[in-house]
Amino acid sequence: MSEEFVVTTLEYVPGYRIKKILGLVSGSTVKARNIGRDILALFRNIAGGEIVEYTELLAGSRDEALRRMVEKAKSMGANAVVGVRLATSSIMSGAAEVVAYGTAVVLEKE
């Protein structure tokens, strides 16, 4: 596991044991819609189907929250985050927070 960093929703990683639990880590981002996306979304809403602009916005937000969580875990000396979960909540009209959280651990080969 020299350079590899594991992020998993599992509570364990097959073939490894948890040597040390470093604690809870999280990463979050708050993103707001913009007028350009809203106009495109309005047209898609009328026509029906997936609102790609919002799908992409939320996907990017999830990636950013996960990246921030991993950065915090690495700064604690972790080589993995287990039990990862994602949560989204509305902060205000047109803005949402995405949070990634899990347990930072040090894994070693069994």
Question: What pLDDT score was predicted for residue 24?
Answer: 98
Question: What pLDDT score was predicted for residue 43?
Answer: 64
Instruction: Quote the pTM value.
Output: 0.83
CB 104 within 8 A of CB 19: no
Question: What pLDDT score was predicted for residue 1?
Answer: 44
- Give whole-number Cα distances, 13 to 25, 43, 71, 81, 106, in Å: 18, 45, 20, 10, 11
Radius of gyration over alpha carbons of the chain, in Å? 18
What's the fold here for domain 6-109?
Answer: Translation Initiation Factor IF3 (3.30.110)
First to last CA, the chain: 12
Note the pLDDT tens digit of each residue in 32-53. Answer: 866 665 666 666 667 667 777 7
What is the C-alpha to C-alpha distance for residues 31 and 71, in angstroms, rounded to an integer? 20
User: Which tokens hold the place of 104?
Assistant: 């930072």
Please report, for the chain, the start and end positions of each structural domain, with discontinuous segments joined by +.
Answer: 6-109
